[in-house]
Structure 1
Amino acid sequence: MPVTSPWPTEADPFLSLESLDDPAAAAWVEAQNARTRTAWQGGARFEALRKRLAEAYLPRERPVIPSRWQAWAYDLWEDESNPKGLWRRALWADWRAGKPQWQTLIDFDALGQAEGVAWVCAGLDILYPDGDRALIQLSDGGADAVTVREFDLERRVFVDSAEGGFVIPKEGKHTISWIDRDTAYVGWDNGRRSLTRSGYPREVRRWMRGTRLADAPVVFRGEFDDISIEADYDPIEKRHDVVRSIDFFDAYNYRLDEQGAWQQYDVPEHVAIGAWQGWLLLEPRLDWACGGVTHPGGALLAIREDAFLAGERTMTALFTPTPVTSACDWTNTKQYLVMSWLDDVQSRTMLWQAQCEDGAWTWHARTFPARADSQVEVSPIEDTLNDEVFVDVDDYLQPPEYWLTDLAKDDLQDWELLDRWPTQFDAAPLTVVRSHALSADGTRVPFTMIGPRAALEGSARKPAPCLLTAYGGFAIPLMPQYLAGDGIGWLEQGGIVAVAHIRGGGEYGTAWHVQAQTEHRQRSFDDFIAVAEQLAADGYTRAAQLGIKGGSNGGLLVAACMVQRPELFGAVLSEVPLLDMQRYPLLHAGASWLDEYGDPEDPAEARALAAYSPYHRVRAGVPYPPSLFTTSTSDDRVHPGHARKMVARMQEQGHANVWYLENTEGGHGPGSDALERADYDALVFRFLWTTLAGTW
């Protein structure tokens, strides 16, 4: 029997809105933008809020926490005059003494004005150990596609191709990294034949200075169905590596052997590989039976590389996950491996040091201090020199703090406060409360509420306007961060912010993600809906006051939940969303997400996708809440056609309270700099307060 497709058989009536160079589509966008800005932009209160947000995002007095490169401190400084940024440097010793003499290297605003392009710095790679050259990646308006230029730090000028500089003038999703002064690895976006199905380079070239990139030999080539190929040379470890990503989560790893041949590591594709000081650090994403032991997904394992290549498979487990931990991340200083993870959405850090005695290696652990209800991030400062680290402390209500400490000290509590971000809103009447809801299948779903004590504590609370957000995809966790914008635009006015830690995310490790992957996506929506219902049941808010917001995968989340349970919500903000789950693999980078969502050409997976695809499930005659869909013309990750078509369909169905905003710049975000973001956020807050509380 033939399989019946779950997708519509008629042609998509709004397909033309996917075109980025069609005058009719551009006119539609312009008309929609004018309608939205007329409704939600302008007026004295809007301008006051926009100005205050801009000052919060770019305060005149704020911390300068530079990166260190040998003797120099580097910083990308942004302010109202330079929203795209000044790349500058000062001597590290002068910065530590509080008297930096900053040298401006590149003024990205001036460069953009001179060339008529809204250049955004997308990448900086300084040549090691020379330090006098850098590879600069420039993005037009914040898009993922970049151009590449070489920069002379001593002369403070770009090195053009006539001088032998490494220059890729045409935009593309290029990758480039130094091998030595005269050689680089390049993933070149040179049109469809050079790319994977997902639109990323499938070849690695070894480019010699003074030669044409087209003549550079291809040293590694992947398959069309891969996601991407990227090569790297580590000048500290003296090793060449290639990562061949075969799907969004998994990859084959290769090393260049002594004979100049690429050798694949003998591990499953779900095992990520890193190297440090002669060790291989292995991270299985799924459970892995190896050497007579089953290592759980999310573990971190260590083994000497020479022993591994000789066939040894006995490994040291540096991290073993539990049902309430995330997978771990690791980095390193000169002597220490720094391992971080979440334990019930609370950050934890462990320091490991390997010692060899009489030919036998042992690992020794030290626990790095945590801060209750705060995110503590430990970042090496210059791992070729010492064990100093920056310690960033962040939470919802207190401005970020920046500390410095030395892991070689006996007392790991001995931190030096460098600076704090200025306070942007009054947090005294506010508090943070954690709770949970039960999803449709009985799974306990945690969520965090931030808001006035009067609204969150005690039984005499009154329902308040609430803004619920989540992400729930790609194993990405949501962690505490200072709510500067929400504090000004929402919390100070009496609103509540709720953050749902739903399945599909990475808060609780691999299983938490996998449970809502591909055909199980509905579990993410069920979790989010359960949190919304719990917020109302506990009296924190009510449906008419509950707004939901999400971006990218989160934009899909809130749109799907709106379509499934419109009566639960008072307003919807869907940002840079993917919404057409039939055509998503054909649009921009969509093919790289097949392992997250499923293949709309596969009958079984197509049924699951069609069951929730917002673009296909939205209906006429259903009273949906007021909805604002936003995107960016320059978003070359999630195609703006998703949001365009959704709004066009809803408006054609007669849904009048549906709004659309498409910024020209911003890439996969609300703006290419902080000033654009402030303008965007002010519009969003006006929309939310008007629709959820009837006030502005």
Structure 2
Amino acid sequence: MPRESAPARSPPETRREVVTETLHGVDVDDPYRWLEGDGEAVDEWVDAQNAHVDEALDDALRDRLRPRFEDLVEVADYGSVSVREGRYFATAREPGADHARLVVRDVPDGDGRVLVDPNAWAANRDAERPPRSMAWYVPSHDGERVAVGVTEGGDENYDVRVLSVPDPTESPESEGSGGYGPGVEEVAVLPERGRVNAGSLAWTADGEGFVYVATGGAADGAQMDKEIRRFRLADGPEAEELLLEHDDQHVWPRVTVDPDSGLLAVAFSEMVGGTEWYVHVDGDLRPVLTDTDAETSVQFHDGTAFVSTDHGAPRRRVLACSVDRFREGDLSFEECRELLPGGEGIIQSVAPTPERLLVHRQRDAHSRLSVHDRDGTHLRDVSLPSYCSVTWVSGNRDAPEAFFGLTGFDRPPAVRALDLDGGADAKDELASTEVDSVDLPVPDDLVVEQRFVDSTDGAEVPVFVCYREDAAVDGPRPTLLYGYGGFRNSITPSFGRFRLPFLADGGAFAAVCARGGYEYGEPWHEAGMLAEKQHTFDDFVAAGEALCASGLTDTDHLAVAGGSNGGLSVGAVVTQRPDLWAAAQCAVPLLDMLRFHRFLLGESWTTEYGHPEDPEAFEYLRAYSPYHNVDADESYPPVYFTTAASDTRVHPSHARKMTARLQNEAAGGPFLLRTKSATGHGVGKPTSMVVDEQTDSWAFLYERLGVEISDRDDDA
């Protein structure tokens, strides 16, 4: 049975000021709208809620859990590999470091030369200043320069810094300073370029500049204003060329450049809709693939445009045409030659090399890799473990080698190199997250299963389950069910180092592949969006009920968790089926679905959820909006909400208002809200903050699910 806890202290008082709006003929009360603001009264309320969390969580339990997470956070992390002209760029966070460093190597497994070390930046040595982090990097095609995105406080509004990459044959006089490695020079700084990221910046073919998508900042409400700009190093930031202004709030531009011909291609894509492609020729945008609702991506290599699309193939296929034909414009899918037809697996990505293609597919939400000739002929499959995820793939444009990330529930993340001319096992592990050195290694008796549960409308929904077979558990296992269910994001096998203590103590972790994701292509996504969104929540509930029916757990030991859109899923299933859950964790969530479009990036999400100003959408949004479905006559399970003051995606008012409503209008609980400062939706957190978050989160679950901390000597 769950542990008997001390009586919960009363939450802070919350002023109730009812605002009533008539929406589509319906009166809608909003008693906590004042919490959408950012004034002194809101700050005081947030501080009081944080203090309430500290009072409500068990200090003794936190003290016992914290050393585990302090140990686990010291494990190294490794990022993806990008190859440019024989230089291998990658990020790595070493044990003891808060942030990952950017390094460059001359051979894949060689010693790395440090280019950027955010740990040495002055802001990160001053506890009074918000942390600064490097969120992304893009090397030039010749490997001579690299652009990096720098954020302060994790707010996802980035400065772009352009750095030189020193020649390894030279002996730089500098020893490195200011967080940059020896010989690295900061050759340009483009401050406050908004939400520009690695997917919206492309170097020109000559390496003397780049094209990128800039936005306004969150503070002035201009994140949805987008411009495509061209920057030349010789001219400086003041002489940037404006190529295009774009004010459609539902469409986001992307840019890519062919490094051989210099052709600039621009994609305009709704966040969850179709993609239109243009080329920028003679100062104008020329349409290429525009008469379609298909989601399409394009990459150029050695005179060929590789087109990956769900046009005519719900689980995607890969087509090809010449770059010259792509430049001409007015291209149809039918004119392209088909290299890889759609099949049972979802084509996730293709990495081209001079004579080969490395193809990543997912089937039933776990990964397959195969090697093909450039005409699509299958050569071999790459040997992979069962129930694993390939998290990224990249190819060497100039050699028959590729790289990929590999992980699984029982498999710490690893970086692997692949010889595309070799056999099925021609791969080397370049780096891996080693957890054997910590107090809680991956247990030998860890069971990983994939189950399929029946949900509404006849859907069979995959659910991954992992637990320690030999862990002594008296009765149903404490179980955490995680999910997302939206925006084409698939739930696949992933390693969670901070789950290891929970598994060691007899807990089980489950992940539901709810509709709204992309586990079975666009039809699976469409089955969980707009008017069909209820299917997402049905799948969470079906998974929870099946876990209980199987005897693995029961409703006294089952918790549900999710973040962002997954936080919406948690809020919906808690309000719809409060009897099913013993606890819930709801991170950076959307919860007021009648006003989400009024804040930050919310308007762009109306293509996924529907628009509250549309009468038909209003009806189904109101039917599941968690904030509007709190029932004063219902008792709800304990819920731990988390949000961030600097979140520039999902406004913290969602979590604030929902917490206030539950605390003041519902039975059950406790309902807790932790607000972090100096961080955002999840970018750039220092390790100390990660430890704090993990300690509080798991202490909440341990107490609510009755998890007993086992003797470490028995688990070594």
Distance 2:535 2:476 in 1: 27
For residue 110 of structure 1, report the CA deviation from its aligned partner: 2.6
Distance 2:22 2:309 in 1: 38
For residue 566 of structure 1, report the CA deviation from its aligned partner: 0.4
Q: Is 1:573 the equivalent of 2:585?
A: yes
Percent of residue pairs bearing the same amino acid type? 25
Contact 2:588 2:643 (8 Å CA) reproduced: yes
For residue 552 of structure 1, report the CA deviation from its aligned partner: 0.9
For residue 299 of structure 1, report the CA deviation from its aligned partner: 2.6
String of CA shifts for 1:231-279, please: whole Å, max 9, x gaps: 333324532111223444323211123x443211144142414133333
Paired position in structure 1 for 2:699: 686
Paired position in structure 1 for 2:674: 661
Paired position in structure 1 for 2:309: 284
Match of 1:184 among 194, 210, 218: 210
What amino acid maps onto 1:344 in structure 2?
D
What amino acid maps onto 2:35 in structure 1?
L
Match of 1:539 among 544, 551, 560: 551
Paired position in structure 2 for 1:317: 338
SS in 2 for 1:150: strand
Relative distance call for 1:439 and 1:686 in structure 2 (3 A) is same
Contact 1:226 1:244 (8 Å CA) reproduced: no
Q: Is 1:331 the equivalent of 2:359?
A: no
Q: Is 1:15 the equivalent of 2:33?
A: yes
Paired position in structure 2 for 1:341: 361
Match of 1:96 among 101, 106, 109: 109
Contact 2:216 2:224 (8 Å CA) reproduced: no
For residue 630 of structure 1, report the CA deviation from its aligned partner: 0.6
String of CA shifts for 1:583-628, please: whole Å, max 9, x gaps: 1111111111111111111011111111000011112131100111
Q: How does 1:153-232 map to 2 (within 5 A)?
A: 153-154=165-166, 165-170=187-192, 172-174=194-196, 176-179=201-204, 180-190=206-216, 199-209=223-233, 211=235, 213=237, 216-232=240-256
Q: CA RMSD in A?
A: 3.3
Q: Is 1:559 the equivalent of 2:585?
A: no
Distance 1:415 1:191 in 2: 44
* Aligned length, in residue pairs: 661
Paired position in structure 1 for 2:100: 85
Contact 2:274 2:293 (8 Å CA) reproduced: yes
For residue 522 of structure 1, report the CA deviation from its aligned partner: 0.4
Q: Is 1:30 the equivalent of 2:47?
A: yes
Contact 1:555 1:577 (8 Å CA) reproduced: yes
Paired position in structure 2 for 1:479: 492
Contact 2:461 2:539 (8 Å CA) reproduced: yes
Paired position in structure 2 for 1:245: 269
String of CA shifts for 1:527-581, please: whole Å, max 9, x gaps: 1111111111121111111100011111110110010010111001011110010
SS in 2 for 1:588: coil
Match of 1:111 among 122, 135, 139: 122
String of CA shifts for 1:286-318, please: whole Å, max 9, x gaps: x54xxxxxx545232233454565867344433
Contact 2:315 2:346 (8 Å CA) reproduced: no
Gaps of 5+ in 2: 1-20, 167-173, 180-184, 710-716
Deviates more, 1:574-583 or 1:670-679: 670-679
For residue 72 of structure 1, report the CA deviation from its aligned partner: 4.0
Q: Is 1:365 the equivalent of 2:381?
A: no
Paired position in structure 2 for 1:358: none
Distance 1:76 1:164 in 2: 18
Q: Is 1:603 the equivalent of 2:625?
A: no
Distance 1:606 1:388 in 2: 51
Relative distance call for 1:101 and 1:247 in structure 2 (3 A) is closer
Match of 1:76 among 85, 91, 103: 91
Match of 2:398 among 385, 389, 393: 385
SS in 2 for 1:25: helix
Q: Give the TM-score, by structure 2 length.
A: 0.84
String of CA shifts for 1:332-371, please: whole Å, max 9, x gaps: 23332222111122311232323xxxxxxx5422232243
What amino acid maps onto 2:631 in structure 1?
R
Q: Is 1:254 the equivalent of 2:278?
A: yes
SS in 2 for 1:550: strand
Deviates more, 1:382-391 or 1:32-41: 382-391
Gaps of 5+ in 1: 289-294, 355-361
Distance 2:121 2:186 in 1: 25
Paired position in structure 2 for 1:291: none
String of CA shifts for 1:463-520, please: whole Å, max 9, x gaps: 21111111111111111122321122x1110011111111111111111111111010
Contact 1:380 1:387 (8 Å CA) reproduced: no
Relative distance call for 1:691 and 1:137 in structure 2 (3 A) is same
Q: Is 1:143 the equivalent of 2:155?
A: yes
Paired position in structure 2 for 1:374: 387
What amino acid maps onto 1:317 in structure 2?
E
Paired position in structure 2 for 1:529: 541
Relative distance call for 1:63 and 1:509 in structure 2 (3 A) is closer
Distance 2:675 2:491 in 1: 26
For residue 694 of structure 1, report the CA deviation from its aligned partner: 6.6
Q: Is 1:436 the equivalent of 2:452?
A: yes
What amino acid maps onto 2:209 in structure 1?
T
Q: Give the TM-score, by structure 1 length.
A: 0.86
Contact 1:124 1:135 (8 Å CA) reproduced: yes
What amino acid maps onto 1:450 in structure 2?
C
SS in 2 for 1:9: strand
Relative distance call for 1:400 and 1:440 in structure 2 (3 A) is same
Distance 2:629 2:137 in 1: 44
Distance 1:426 1:246 in 2: 41
Contact 1:150 1:158 (8 Å CA) reproduced: no
Paired position in structure 2 for 1:414: 426
String of CA shifts for 1:645-694, please: whole Å, max 9, x gaps: 11011112144510011111332138713332222111111111111117
Paired position in structure 2 for 1:292: none
